[in-house]
Structure 1
Amino acid sequence: MDDPSRSQALTVVIKLGTSSIVDENTHEPIISILSAIVETAATLQKHGHRVILVSSGAIGVGLRRMDINERPKHLPKVQALAAVGQCRLMGLWDSLFGHLRIPVAQILLTRNDIADRTQYLNAQNTFSELLDMGVIPIVNENDTLAVAEIKFGDNDTLSAITAAMVKADYLFLMTDVDCLYTSNPRHDPDAEPIEVVSDISTLDADVSTSGSSLGTGGMGTKIVAARLATSAGVTTIITKSSKPENVHEILSYLEKRETEAHENPEDQGLSTPPLHTRFLPSSTPIHSRSFWILHGLTTHGSIYIDQGAFNALQNNASLLPAGVLAVEGHFGQQEAVRLFVIEKRSQDALNGDFMIHAEEPKEVGRAIVNYGSLEIDKIKGLRSTHINSALGYADSEYVALGENISFFERSERSSLAATPSQIEKK
């Protein structure tokens, strides 16, 4: 075993899906996997690392607790099962970690909990304090209260947001396959493993997307999570959930490789790590506030802007009403909206419906607006000096301030389309 004193202290988020820790048929918790995860987390802590678990499974455990065979479709019943199962699930984690004298903490989140900037920062501070105390936070979506409008959608997304929130070094997405494949290995014997993805926008959208009947996501949701996490500078790794020890072995391999690359660049004697897919972090990660605007807020509508406004906004300008072409949806002041750009418009579009004559809009980011949808619709295309005459008041000369506008990386704006030759394979 390596000397813990030589290990660089890392913050590691490990996401576990329902199908990883709950038997799909009996709904019994898989104690062997839970125990192996606990041992892995304890080993990481001994090496000086900070560990966070994002654990699904509350509804699955609730099904077993109440002797129900299938996940119900009625939302209140699902939420009731989540309440029953979450209690049991945390009891299991607390008992298993308790044998190793490691304290754990429960953190339940919905999008509403982090939509307010102050609450988002409070969550960051809570995570920081828990990790400093040697506590392992166990995070789950608050399925007891969450409805579609405030759900993260799946715990893959929640784990990516958590990893960005705590500025993690690594996010491990544990799943029922060893790694990402060029196609579904269950059905295609020629499927090839993908070892490293340096640019996620080059990844084919048709890679393996299977999921279990208990879980809410497959490989597709993990790719989305990887895109979010890597944009925040977090290395994201997919590996097999039935082998939790892979996490420590992969980290040890990467640390040794980095050390020997500096000390012995010609030495190629490293052993092969467990099979996994590694998504490399962005070389220009977005800041915490920008990530919060892009991924922490629920959007309530859309604003369409012209190319000139888009160019100005990329140079840290604020959005003037003159650059707004159209508004979609209903939203109020200080709510988040999706931001689309229309690159070119025909001459006919200048006198008619631009949505008919314009090029396909491209979603480029998010903005927190100073005016509601009805107000923006009245002032779109006007100079700021005309806002007062159009509305009878002028709270701001800008539709949105530059500090409240965040753009996706160029790779995030691109459609997922790539050939296998663009991706390094094992």
Structure 2
Amino acid sequence: MKGAKSLTVVIKLGTSSIVDEKTHEPLLPILTLIVSTAVKLRKDGHKVVIVSSGAIGVGLQRMDQDKRPKHLHELQALAAIGQCRLMSLWDSFFGHYRQPIAQILLTRNDIADRTRYLNAQNTMVGLLDMGVIPIVNENDTLAVAEIKFGDNDTLSAITAGMVHADFLFLMTDVDCLYDKNPRTNPDAKAIEVVEDISSVQADVSSAGSSLGTGGMATKIVAAKLATSAGVMTVITRSSSPGNITQIVRHVQDTSRPLQQAEDPLSEPAEPLPAEDSAKPIRDRYFWLLHGLAPHGTLYIDAGAHRALAHKAGLLPVGVLDVEGSFASHEAVRIVVVERNLEPGPDGKLWHGTPHEVGRALVNYAASEIQRIKGHRSKEIQSILDYADSDYVADRDNVSLFQRESRPVSPI
């Protein structure tokens, strides 16, 4: 591997890959294989991040409880108990290889705050440069419903974007993506390579294990998020982590995407290439799209959308409607609709199916945008008695989705 490019690899493990669903005992054989794989990647010169669930599952075993409790404070207490044991397990396994690790616990608030996001990013980059393997998990002892990531699939995708990873491996109890649930449909067909992730029609209705919060649906969402940042995403079986080193080495040796390989791997895996790998969403724009929780919606016309696509800011004349209550400098959804020539019977200035195309940090509050919408910038001063900016949102504070737009329900 001498002279080969150093890659950054993020490996995500769900609770079902770490502890037994019934006994809650740690799955030591799988953990051993994962650690061995991570060490091999390090010896090959690659940087490795592990996103590890399992704190609550380990906490259940520690406290001899059979079922995951329903109350938030009980879950948080079990997470606090289990996180200590979980990190002890990881440290013990990696210690046999003299491989240093570090613990990083995040909440959505850590990602939403730009300074804390950058601090987390700089910490991870610093650890990777030192040859350390960061073990990332959601801080379940602090997170509540409003600030939870919801599952570590999403957290792993955000982590992959933060460190500019080359690969994200979503380890699960199936070997790849299927068009139907393979547990209940023997005729389910594997989807080994996805060229356009927006066209995926897999059966994602099933939830994860009784201990976890994810499932195939969250993995598809995570894959869309990660590939938008230029990260190749692979879904593969956690009991066969050798797939990781095979895929990384194969792509590195051939210098071609996995789907172009002449000798595909015998164990199926599912790479999800970036929708527009030539222009991955990076850094600030990635943070705007995926780090912030939107507090409202701006409905804009096609002309304003074209202007944003050509790197112009969002002017009030292009705004047709406002939804939600938000302050200045808060995040909002950007939704494109068709402009009416005259207000409709309901008074609306637009019609058609709304499509979300991006996110923005706005210069004005919702009530202020409601007053200046449809007006020219030079009129802002006379309408509001002040004008902090000619733009509803500066272009540096707007980030558009890559190619895909999302239908939304009209107000």
TM interval, short-chain normalised: over 0.9
Distance of aligned partners of 1:233 and 1:374 in 2 relative to their CA distance in 1, 3 Å threshold:
same
Match of 2:28 in 1: 31
Q: Distance in 1 between matches of 2:114 and 2:264?
A: 45
The structure 1 residue matched to 2:67, chosen from 52, 57, 70, is: 70
2:288 maps to a residue whose letter is I
Q: Larger RCO: Structure 1 or Structure 2 (Cα < 8 Å, ≥ 6 residues apart)?
A: 1
Match of 1:44 in 2: 41
CA RMSD of aligned residues (A): 2.1
The structure 1 residue matched to 2:145, chosen from 148, 151, 164, is: 148
Q: Distance in 1 between matches of 2:256 and 2:387?
A: 58
| C-alpha contact (below 8 Å) 2:180/2:202 kept by paired residues | no
2:313 maps to a residue whose letter is S
Question: 1:270-419 residue pairs with structure 2 within 5 A?
Answer: 270=263, 272-281=265-274, 282-283=276-277, 284-345=279-340, 347-349=342-344, 352-354=346-348, 358-411=351-404, 413=406
Q: Distance in 1 between matches of 2:383 and 2:122?
A: 44
Q: Distance in 1 between matches of 2:340 and 2:168?
A: 42
Distance of aligned partners of 1:205 and 1:338 in 2 relative to their CA distance in 1, 3 Å threshold:
farther
Q: Distance in 1 between matches of 2:407 and 2:298?
A: 19
Q: Distance in 1 between matches of 2:339 and 2:316?
A: 18
How far has the Cα of 1:260 moved from its partner?
Answer: 12
Distance of aligned partners of 1:381 and 1:374 in 2 relative to their CA distance in 1, 3 Å threshold:
same
Q: Distance in 2 between matches of 1:49 and 1:337?
A: 37
How many residues get paired? 405
- Tell me the SS of whatever aligns to 1:299: coil
Distance of aligned partners of 1:388 and 1:54 in 2 relative to their CA distance in 1, 3 Å threshold:
same
Q: Distance in 1 between matches of 2:168 and 2:138?
A: 17
Q: Distance in 1 between matches of 2:186 and 2:154?
A: 30
1:163 and 2:160 aligned: yes
Distance of aligned partners of 1:259 and 1:152 in 2 relative to their CA distance in 1, 3 Å threshold:
closer
Task: Note the alpha carbon deviations across 1:59-102, whole angstroms, 9 max, x for none.
Answer: 11111111221111111111111111111101110111111111
Q: Distance in 1 between matches of 2:158 and 2:255?
A: 26
Match of 1:421 in 2: none
1:183 and 2:177 aligned: no
Q: Distance in 2 between matches of 1:344 and 1:192?
A: 44
Q: Distance in 1 between matches of 2:45 and 2:335?
A: 44
- Tell me the SS of whatever aligns to 2:168: strand
| C-alpha contact (below 8 Å) 2:178/2:203 kept by paired residues | no
How far has the Cα of 1:302 moved from its partner?
Answer: 1.0
| C-alpha contact (below 8 Å) 2:207/2:213 kept by paired residues | no
How far has the Cα of 1:256 moved from its partner?
Answer: 3.2
Q: Distance in 2 between matches of 1:260 and 1:249?
A: 13
Q: Distance in 2 between matches of 1:271 and 1:402?
A: 43
Task: Note the alpha carbon deviations across 1:367-417, whole angstroms, 9 max, x for none.
Answer: 0001111111122122222222222222112111011001111235479xx
Q: Distance in 2 between matches of 1:414 and 1:142?
A: 32
Segments of 5+ residues of structure 1 without an aligned counterpart are: 416-426
Q: Distance in 2 between matches of 1:45 and 1:386?
A: 59
- Tell me the SS of whatever aligns to 1:237: strand
| TM-score, scaled relative to structure 1 | 0.90
| C-alpha contact (below 8 Å) 2:353/2:407 kept by paired residues | no
| C-alpha contact (below 8 Å) 1:250/1:273 kept by paired residues | no
Q: Distance in 1 between matches of 2:381 and 2:290?
A: 33
Q: Distance in 2 between matches of 1:144 and 1:213?
A: 20
Q: Distance in 2 between matches of 1:9 and 1:161?
A: 21
- Tell me the SS of whatever aligns to 2:299: strand
160-169 vs 403-412, which deviates more? 403-412
- Tell me the SS of whatever aligns to 1:148: coil
Question: 1:231-250 residue pairs with structure 2 within 5 A?
Answer: 231-250=228-247
Distance of aligned partners of 1:131 and 1:95 in 2 relative to their CA distance in 1, 3 Å threshold:
same
Segments of 5+ residues of structure 2 without an aligned counterpart are: none
Q: Distance in 2 between matches of 1:240 and 1:80?
A: 30
Question: 1:86-97 residue pairs with structure 2 within 5 A?
Answer: 86-97=83-94
- Tell me the SS of whatever aligns to 2:135: strand
Distance of aligned partners of 1:331 and 1:271 in 2 relative to their CA distance in 1, 3 Å threshold:
closer
Distance of aligned partners of 1:102 and 1:148 in 2 relative to their CA distance in 1, 3 Å threshold:
same
- Tell me the SS of whatever aligns to 1:354: coil
Match of 1:424 in 2: none
Q: Distance in 1 between matches of 2:87 and 2:57?
A: 13
Q: Distance in 2 between matches of 1:260 and 1:296?
A: 28
How far has the Cα of 1:259 moved from its partner?
Answer: 7.2
